[in-house]
């Protein structure tokens, strides 16, 4: 089979594209000058999600630290639009940002898509190690220099992703004939195909009606998002495959970020990192609670032999140029 170009979505931080309120739209370059800057922050997540709540904390802390001169408006449940569309707007100077995974960013920096490869890391801690490495910094720089996108922080952990269906899944063979929703980035769709299902790249907001109406047979997602979208109402089973560890980032437009006074740029980044760390820990702490709520609602949650799914998705790495070598680099970073 021909190798595909590395195209998958980088988990980048949602763009902090802050618009200056002035006749010419340019900042004065001085904090406390009375200029105000507004960033519209998009996410597909619901208000019940720890990550969404972390974005609210980020918003409040930035407003306080800048005397309300930097204002962040949060748009949940995909109401600001598709992640890819928001990124395109950020690149051309619109005051928008998005919380996004590495798979989508891979369309611009192919190598970063390795972070969305199946079982590339086994935990939030391992994912954090990679994001803090020099390797990841080179991808960040390429995004900024070549694509006008600024990663504000990439430490927003949303949990490990599992299979959501209306039949019990215990092994890859059980997925034959099922159509499952996954984000449209090639690394994600290739992974679902390798597992044995057919991938459907529809918007997350369309998953509930899609399953309900029989358009798709299920999806794959992390517990907070599954519960937040009420998917436990239209599925009967969750197979705990943990095939992706979903670490995401807040990404904004580099040009708009540059329009902020330097002091405010620092505040926005520092507060994004702080809020991301706290939201990630809250996610880890609440995963079991989200699972119990869905069990209480009648969903069967079953553990699987993860090695079977690791073996099934091993072929994915050979489908993307350079991913086998990148995996070796990451294993060295992790000391494996």
Model confidence pLDDT, tens digit, residues 189-234 = 999 999 999 999 899 999 999 999 999 999 999 999 999 999 999 9
pLDDT above 80: residue 20 = no
Contact 186, 7 (CB under 8 A): yes
DSSP annotation of 13 reads B
Structure tokens at 144: 């900024």
Q: What's the pLDDT at 29?
A: 64
Is residue 37, in this structure, part of any structural domain at all?
A: yes
Is residue 7, in this structure, part of any structural domain at all?
A: no
Is residue 13, in this structure, part of any structural domain at all?
A: no
- The residues, ordered by sequence, that sit 6+ positions from 123 with a Cβ below 8 Å of its Cβ are 245
pLDDT above 70: residue 128 = yes
pLDDT above 70: residue 16 = no
What range does the domain containing 62 cover?
19-334
Average pLDDT over the chain, rounded to an integer: 91
Range from 22-26, 45-49, 143-147, 216-220 carrying the lowest mean pLDDT: 22-26
CA atoms within 13 A on the CB side of 170: 1
Is residue 8, in this structure, part of any structural domain at all?
A: no
φ, ψ (nearest 5 deg) of residue 316: -60, -40
For the chain, how many structural domains are there in total?
1
Domain harbouring 312, CATH code: 3.40.190.170
Is residue 6, in this structure, part of any structural domain at all?
A: no
Model confidence pLDDT, tens digit, residues 129-166 = 999 999 999 999 999 999 999 999 999 999 999 999 99
pLDDT above 60: residue 1 = no
Is residue 222, in this structure, part of any structural domain at all?
A: yes
Is residue 291, in this structure, part of any structural domain at all?
A: yes
**Alpha-carbon span 213 to 289, nearest angstrom:** 28
Is residue 5, in this structure, part of any structural domain at all?
A: no
Q: What's the pLDDT at 197?
A: 98
- The residues, ordered by sequence, that sit 6+ positions from 281 with a Cβ below 8 Å of its Cβ are none
Buried b (16+ CB within 10 A) or exposed e, 198-215: ebbebebeebbebbeeee
- The residues, ordered by sequence, that sit 6+ positions from 25 with a Cβ below 8 Å of its Cβ are 19, 259
**Alpha-carbon span 195 to 175, nearest angstrom:** 7
Pairing of strands 37-42, 19-20: antiparallel
pLDDT above 50: residue 6 = no
């Amino acid at each position: 089979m021909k190798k595909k170009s590395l195209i998958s979505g980088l988990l980048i931080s949602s763009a902090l594209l802050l618009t200056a309120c002035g006749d010419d739209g340019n900042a004065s370059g001085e904090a406390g000058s009375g200029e105000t800057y507004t960033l519209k922050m998009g996410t597909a997540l619901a208000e019940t999600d720890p990550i969404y709540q972390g974005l609210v904390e980020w918003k409040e802390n930035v407003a306080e630290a800048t005397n309300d001169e930097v204002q962040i408006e949060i748009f949940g449940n995909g109401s600001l639009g598709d992640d890819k569309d928001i990124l395109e707007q950020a690149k051309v100077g619109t005051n928008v940002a998005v919380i996004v995974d590495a798979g989508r960013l891979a369309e611009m920096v192919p190598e970063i898509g390795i972070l969305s490869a199946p079982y590339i890391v086994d935990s939030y801690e391992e994912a954090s190690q990679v994001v803090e490495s020099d390797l990841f910094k080179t991808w960040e720089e390429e995004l900024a220099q070549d694509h006008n996108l600024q990663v504000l922080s990439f430490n927003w952990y949303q949990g490990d992703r599992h299979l959501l269906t209306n039949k019990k899944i215990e092994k890859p063979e059980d997925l034959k004939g099922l159509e499952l929703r996954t984000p449209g980035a090639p690394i994600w769709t290739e992974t679902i195909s390798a597992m044995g299902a057919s991938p459907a790249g529809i918007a997350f907001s369309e998953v509930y009606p899609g399953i309900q109406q029989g358009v798709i047979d299920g999806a794959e997602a992390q517990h907070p998002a599954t519960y937040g979208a009420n998917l436990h109402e239209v599925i009967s089973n969750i197979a705990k495959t943990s095939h992706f560890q979903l670490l995401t980032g807040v990404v904004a437009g580099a040009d708009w970020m540059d329009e902020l006074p330097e002091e405010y740029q620092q505040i926005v980044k520092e507060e994004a990192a702080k809020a991301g760390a706290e939201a990630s820990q809250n996610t880890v702490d609440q995963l079991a609670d989200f699972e119990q709520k869905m069990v209480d609602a009648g969903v069967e949650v079953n553990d699987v032999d993860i090695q079977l799914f690791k073996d099934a998705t091993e072929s994915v790495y050979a489908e993307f140029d350079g991913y086998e070598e990148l995996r070796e680099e990451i294993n060295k970073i992790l000391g494996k």
